[in-house]
Structure 1
Amino acid sequence: MSVKQADPHDFLGIDAGLGDTERDVRDAVRAYAREELTPHIADWYENGGLPRELASGLGKLGLFGMHLEGYGCAGLSALAYGIACRELEAVDSGLRSYVSVQGSLAMFAIHHWGTEEHRTEWLPRMAAGEALGCFGLTEPDSGSDPGSMRTTARREGSDWVLNGTKMWITNGTLADVAVVWANTEEGVRGFVVPTDTPGFTANEVRHKLSLRASITAELVLENVRLPESAAFPDVRGLKGPLSCLNEARFGILWGVVGAARSCYESALDYAKTREQFGKPLAAFQLTQRKLADMLVEVNRSALVARQLSTLKDAGDLAPSQVSFGKFANVRSAIEVARSARTVLGANGITLEYPVMRHMNNLETVLTYEGTEEVHALSLGAAVTGVQAFR
């Protein structure tokens, strides 16, 4: 009787239980990534950006806002969306950011909080990749504490006038529309801002050492005048932007599983072919221990992501559970990347291999959509009932 052998690339058979739709999404995104993204990603990373034309191909795949209903969106499960994020980030975190900022921040905000006019004007074009969006919340002096934002919106007759600066905005210089959050006399409110509005400027952030295959910008709003209809009508306070961040974090906790898997697979392939002292690196006990540790972290992170998908699709996912996923999975992915780099030795620092590119990217992923410290405090508050943020 033969003994069943586990698959080194899906050791716990996590994908074996996927439904037909999720499997089709995985295969389609993986094939597209292999043919259209992977051959170019090292150059995009080195050159510091992604081509605007990518939006068309990603739109045709149905990846923008794929977990939203109607308006040209696919309306797929959270699990399907997570699988797509995993396959994109297996290539590069910048690609997953490109998709998740569009779908889980800008499109989700318009879909969930906007008016019907907002939705019909923007969502079909954004789903098709014909229009790109960005999400303006973080400011130069307001990151983990968004309540301290200085951007303001004041009423002037029947209009709104916005002033302020937003920072670290993905897709900022590419966007056709920005969702901007600002302080008003009624509390924090969200606004749909076409980027060709007078007074709106986007300046690219350069000299980044991480997430280079992604456009990051500063948004400057100088007396940007908008009609009353530009404001989200029914949401006040931080509930609006935080609900969007929760959507984006879900994509992150899945995406980093892909980054970790890529690093582990690169180290595994290298260890089996690279010889030292007359035998492959894979034959050394220390290397096998590193591979075993990476294997455990990749699969453990995948199990966390899969369980959180089950909860989300059932409507039972708590924000603190999303924090658990981002906190645990990003930390695991960074450890996998660092260990994989040591297996590759000096080759690990080149763009010939994906490992150090992932390792650098993950330093950004650790920080955005809530730093590691913020998510640790969220978990602490969830289990103790005591807020320690202030």
Structure 2
Amino acid sequence: MRIYLFLLLFSAAVTYLSTPAARLLARRLGAMTAVRARDMHDTVTPRLGGVAMFAGIATSLLVAAHVPFLHRLFDESRQPWAILAAAALVCAIGAADDKWDLDWMTKLAGQILAALLMAWQGVQLMTLPIGGIILLSPRTALLLSVLVVVISMNAVNFVDGLDGLAAGVMAIGGCAFFLYAYLLTRGASATDYSSLAALVTAVMIGACVGFLPHNLTRARIFMGDSGSMLLGLMLAAATITVTGQVDPERLSGADFFGQFLPILLPIGVMVVPFLDFALAVVRRIGSGRSPFHADALHLHHRLLALGHTKHGAVLIMYLWTVVVCAGLLMPVFVDGPATVILWVAGILLALLLTFDPLTLFNRRRHRRIRPPGGTP
């Protein structure tokens, strides 16, 4: 555990120290986010924050390759290097989009290429975790692996609309997934706790933590597509390396729920991005537009419409991520009835704070009694 925490902190430190350089680079290159009608920011802001996040992830993985505890991961497989290469590719594509606003087809082609690169080097689904069901064919495994990676990248990209939102959600969800991957590895071996999924998740969390101080409230830099696609790819890679490669029954004594965790937990980690992504696709296709056509109807827009502040909307989405991830992990540690009670209580609290009728009423009343001469 100490090695993973060290690499997490190392990734955070490198990202934090690299972000000012990325901000300067964005200004020099003109990779700036203009103020548009659908945007939540009110000043022109540099992008390319993902470049600093990639620096933290890449240097941490290179350090990990020289740690004796993790040697097996790098010596026996090319998967870590494939993940790093795919991360470099999507970060480069995202950086190009941050600078030149690439069309959606070019970005999608780059995402598929990165997913294929990982699958080619073995980062692909081999079995389903429910009883170790073998997928129908290698082609099915390849297509499903690519689909998981592409959806994850676009889901994080869709939710990245408020200061600190995407990085915070991924850090919170990543912590839950890291804990699960680590416990799964400990349950599978009494001597070897090295896990590619835990490693990838740890360095991803570190990149988010290191970037957040620059991105919270009145952000000085945005992660841009270079960051959002990078985070989506890293979580997808961690999910794929866990799924079907360790028997989850060993974690909780053949517990039935434990067999579904490799599927459910990644969905829980990405519940906010996935929900936003799914609603956006349905909404846009239903109106006859491309699913990649931008609009101002994302979840964070809807929370603002309910009366939440920008900061409050971010905290609400953090809360939902915590509630869902904690609810999925609790059966590993707590008996069934207690899990149900705690999860229901968490959901009710999240619903109450989401709709927040008292605060909403007070804000509307404040607008109604605005003094004469106030700006509309």
TM-score (norm 1): 0.28
Q: Which has the higher helix share?
A: 2
